Amino acid sequence: MPDISRRRALTAAAALAATATAATVVAPAATAADHEHPMPMPQPPGHFDEVYKGRRIQGRPMSGGGHHHEHGGGFEVLVDGVQLHVMRNADGTWISVVSHYAPVATPRAAARAAVDELQGAPLLPFPAN
C-alpha cells in the first residue's frame, strides 16, 4: 500500500500547517482567557470553537469527505489544530482515541475529555506512527 506513507505525510503536513495557524490565532485569546472557563463563539449547530484549559478545541463538518478514517459521522475534532480521532457510537455518544472506552454525550465533551487526558501534552497526528 504505497499511498499510505504519502497520505500520512500529507496528514502530518496539514496538521503542522493547522497547528501553526491555530497558534497564531489563539495566542492572544489564550493569554486573556481564564483557563478553566471555555470561551464559546457563535457557530452553526454542532460546531464549536473554544479555548478549554488553555487549548483551542474545534469541531466542524469534515472537509473533503471520503477519508479512510472518517468515523465521526462526517464530523472532525481538532485540539490546537491537530485532528483528534473521534467516533460516534450507535446510541449517539462519542469517544476519541485518547478516551476510547468511556463514551460522552457530544463531540465537544470528547474534545474536553481529550484535553483533560492530555495534561498539556501535544496530540500526534494519526495514524500513530
Partner 1 sequence: MTVRKNQATLTVDEKKRFVDAVLELKRSGRYDDFVRTHNEFIMSDTDTGERTGHRSPSFLPWHRRFLLDFEQALQSVDSSVALPYWDWSTDRTLRASLWAPDFLGGTGRSSDGRVMDGPFAASAGNWPMNVRVDGRTFLRRSLGTGVRELPTRAEVESVLSISTYDMEPYNSAADGFRNNLEGWRGVNLHNRVHVWVGGQMGTGVSPNDPVFWLHHAYVDKLWAEWQSRHPDAGYVPTGGTADVVDLNETMKPWNDVRPADLLDHTKFYTFDS
Return residues touching partner 1 (CB under 8 A): 68-69, 71, 85, 87-91, 97-103, 117-119, 121-124, 126-129
Q: Which is nearer to partner 1, 12 or 118 (CB)?
A: 118
Looking at the Cβ atoms of 61 and 122, the one nearer to partner 1 is 122
Q: What is the smallest separation between the CB atom of 88 and partner 1, expressed in angstroms?
A: 8
Question: How far apart, in whole angstroms, are the C-alpha atoms of residue 92 and residue 70?
Answer: 16
Residue 127 is given by DSSP the state: S
The C-alpha cell that represents 54 in the structure block: 488553555
- End-to-end CA gap in the chain: 16
Q: Least distance in Å: CB of 74 to partner 1?
A: 12
Nine-digit cell string for 58: 474545534
